[in-house]
Structure 1
Amino acid sequence: MKSNFIKILLFFTCMVLACRNDKKPVQALVKDDEQQYYNAIIGWHINVPLGYRQTHENSLKLNDENGKNAVKQNYNTEINTDSIVHLLSFQKNQFNLFDSTLKKFDAKRDGDYFKNNAATQKMLYDIYAAQKIKIDTSTFTQKISGVAFQGFNIKIYGPNGSIVMQQQMYAALIKGYDLGINISFNNEADKDVLLNALRTSTFEK
């Protein structure tokens, strides 16, 4: 259960809580060409699209702290994010962003991986509901470079009933690690760019 709280913390802060932070220093990753990110633990290669900048580490830490407070407020539970590693995080602005995290997964400690993800999705829905945010959700599966991802799609509505933002979350168990990816967007152009960055990424066999 603790693993679920941590995953919700990271996914939730990427979209809702990150938007509250108006002091987000960012550093440029690219100038004239795409830059490739590589993680040796899971053998992941992914290109950062042109026009997107790396989210500053200080912003990630601040968002994590805000997320801890949100989970504590809704579930009266203290959580520790020390075991979570932020991998690649980049954004065009506060509404169009990509974030990825990694955590060692132990079935004896954490339980069944798929049940764990289902519980995560349920709790995430509950947190949005507690914030009185109207959403629609759906689940899906997708293979990327041979890796099977469990997906969770969220449509977020504004007060007038129109969709103001969407969030797609991906989770996969790779080499004993839980890879979590959160993609948020508020327009079709950025949606295509962000999803294409993930779908064209590769994992070493």
Structure 2
Amino acid sequence: MRIYFLTILSLVLFVSCNTDPNKQVDEGKVIENKYYSKEIGWSIEIPKGWNVTNRNVTQEREDKGLKAVNEANGINYDISGLKQLISFQKDRFHIFSATSEKCEIEYEGEYEENKILVKQLLYNTYANNGIKFDTISSTEIIDNLEFDLFHITIYDPKGNVILYQDFYSRFINGLDFGVNLNYIDEKEKNELMKVWKNSKFD
């Protein structure tokens, strides 16, 4: 089971890039403006003007998100098997990130049960941290593959929207593959959606 990490809790982090983007990923390869994961069989274009996120920034987000999830739910989840595939961002509010984790399915329906549990853990974490939010669950087709989509709208205390988060997940090649899109402005949202929906699977 994979835990989605909460970028909303680490928005103080700024854009950070590196001259060698391949040092920022655990698996896959970045060539010019394209990333390819051999394990997933997935490729995506990095939009112009967006930077591959530095591994240190990604790790700090993970640590903060994991701490929040564990404290809110009274668990001690181990993320040692989680792989960072590609993360890129325009600024601290507009972020794309993808991860994978080995997932051994022991019985029919186990993956679906885990998806429900992950959503509940997210719900508890946001609620216990006093964050106002709404959620919508649905599915979406990306390159002829159906993904589970968990959409979160986050509000400030006055009820104004401060962030949208889209969490996509699917079981692929024995891996739990997840994609997280954070956005608030329409232009950047459209850029993210375009490259994600145009990404390809072998």
TM-score when scaled to structure 2?
A: 0.88
Distance 1:75 1:201, change over 3 A: same
Does 1:80 pair with 2:78?
yes
Q: Higher helix share goes to which structure?
A: 1
In structure 2, the residue matched to 1:17 is: 9
Is the CA contact (8 Å cut-off) linking 1:110 and 1:116 kept in structure 2?
no
Distance in 2 (CA, whole Å) between partners of 1:64 and 1:149 is 23
Shift of 1:187: 0.9
Q: Which runs of 4+ in 1 moved over 6 A?
A: none
Distance in 2 (CA, whole Å) between partners of 1:157 and 1:101 is 26
Is the CA contact (8 Å cut-off) linking 1:47 and 1:201 kept in structure 2?
yes
Shift of 1:152: 0.6
Distance in 1 (CA, whole Å) between partners of 2:122 and 2:107 is 21
Shift of 1:198: 0.6
Two-structure CA RMSD over aligned residues (Å):
2.0
| Identity score, percent | 29
Is the CA contact (8 Å cut-off) linking 2:16 and 2:51 kept in structure 1?
no
- The number of aligned residues is 192
Does 1:7 pair with 2:36?
no
Shift of 1:18: 2.6
Is the CA contact (8 Å cut-off) linking 1:53 and 1:91 kept in structure 2?
yes
Identify unmatched segments of 5+ residues in structure 2: 22-31
Shift of 1:94: 0.8
The letter of the residue matching 2:111 is: Y
The letter of the residue matching 1:200 is: N
Shift of 1:143: 1.3
In structure 2, the residue matched to 1:178 is: 176
Distance 1:155 1:122, change over 3 A: same
- What are the residue-to-residue correspondences of 1:116-155 with 2, within 5 Å? 116-155=114-153
- What are the residue-to-residue correspondences of 1:15-164 with 2, within 5 Å? 15-21=7-13, 25-27=16-18, 35-108=33-106, 112-164=110-162
Is the CA contact (8 Å cut-off) linking 2:84 and 2:98 kept in structure 1?
yes
The letter of the residue matching 2:171 is: L
In structure 2, the residue matched to 1:168 is: 166
The letter of the residue matching 1:26 is: C
Distance in 2 (CA, whole Å) between partners of 1:72 and 1:41 is 29
1:143-175 per-residue CA deviation (whole Å, 9 max, x = no partner) reads: 111211000111111122111110111001111
Is the CA contact (8 Å cut-off) linking 1:55 and 1:90 kept in structure 2?
yes
Is the CA contact (8 Å cut-off) linking 2:73 and 2:125 kept in structure 1?
no
Does 1:200 pair with 2:198?
yes
Distance in 1 (CA, whole Å) between partners of 2:108 and 2:64 is 24
Identify unmatched segments of 5+ residues in structure 1: none
Distance in 2 (CA, whole Å) between partners of 1:109 and 1:68 is 27
